[in-house]
Structures are given as C-alpha cells and as structure tokens.
Amino acid sequence: MVGRLRNVIVGGCRVLKRSRLGRRFIKQQDGAAAVEFALVATPFLALLFAIIESAMVFFAGQSLEAATASAARLILTGQAQTGSYSATDFKTQVCNRVAALFDCSGGVYVDVKTYSDFSSVNTASPVNNGQLDTSKMTYTPGGPGCIVKVAIYYQWPIYVSLLGNNLSNLNGNKKLLVATSVFRNEPYGGSGGC
C-alpha cells in the first residue's frame, strides 16, 4: 500500500515537472516565507498565550496567599474579634489587599473555623463534582488561644485551554485558587471560647 502511494506521488511530481506551468510553480518562492510563518505562528502563539495565562494564575495565587496572611493577622491579634467583624467585614479586608486582580463582589469566599487542636484541622478543598461548595463555609474567629483556620477561595477563569485544560480544576474552565492560614490566636485580652 505504501509503495503504491509512493509511486503515485512520484509519478505526479514527474508529470508536474514536465509541464511548463509545473516548472514555474516549483521554482516560485514568493509566498514561501508567509506559508512557513503561518505554519509556525499558530502553535507559537498558542504556547505563548498558555505561558502568559499560567504566569497570571501563579501570580494571582501568590497574591491571594499574601492577602490571606495579612488579613488573617487581624484574627490572630484579636482586632477582628474586638472590632466585631462579620464575615462580610473580614472579606472586605481581604478584598482591600487584592482588589486589582479579583472580582471580590461575587468571586471571593471566606471560610473561618476554630478547632480544638492542630491535628483536627481540615484543609481539604470544598469541591463537589467540579463545583465549589460554599454551603459549609462559616465565620467563627474564636477567642484568645483558639486554633483558627482561615481559608480564602477564588474561582479564577481560564481562557486559554488549548493544552489539554491542565490549569482548570473546576467545571466551566475555572481554577480554584486556595489560600489557607492556620494559627493559634494570641492572648489579646478578649473573652470567648473556642
């Protein structure tokens, strides 16, 4: 089969070389650079956009980590508890630190829980069937000496999914960015149990 196909192609090339039009076509080099560029440009641009998007996802993740650590310090030092912060107030503090990158109005989710010891802290992502499950998220910052887990979640949209969609881990081409901080509250002088 391969030999037969080869004979057909070779025979067709010989006929093309014999004709005057065929010789002119073979010698013509005017559009070669444009054709070569078109063949190389498409995968190059796809790879370039995938690299840029990957960099943006990692940058956003690091920004969310920094904002979470900074905002969690409000709970650690008792400022959130003595200031009677609600979940919305605490979310606003997180959003003030990452406002340029994230859509805070509906995209940032805050989960603050207290635990009896460090070994019982659950750091699993609340994802069910490719969807972020916000039904069990609470805001309980605890009192002095309490062990607290602050988790901030954001669903980052993925636009370039040409490389097998390796970045997204949620349905709808989204990447769940998670920033977590676990600590024991300082003895700030407030009251309240864990």
Residue 76 confidence (pLDDT) above 90: yes
Buried b (16+ CB within 10 A) or exposed e, 66-99: ebbbebbbbbbebebbeeebebeebbbbbbebbe
- Between 68-77, 80-89, 99-108, the lowest mean confidence (pLDDT) is in 99-108
Looking at residue 192, what is its pLDDT? Answer: 62
Looking at residue 188, what is its pLDDT? Answer: 80
Residue 193 is classified by DSSP as -
Looking at residue 50, what is its pLDDT? Answer: 84
Distances (CA, A) of 152 to 9, 40, 88, 103, 141: 62, 41, 13, 13, 14
CB-CB contact of 181 with 164 (8 Å): no
- SS3 at position 155: strand
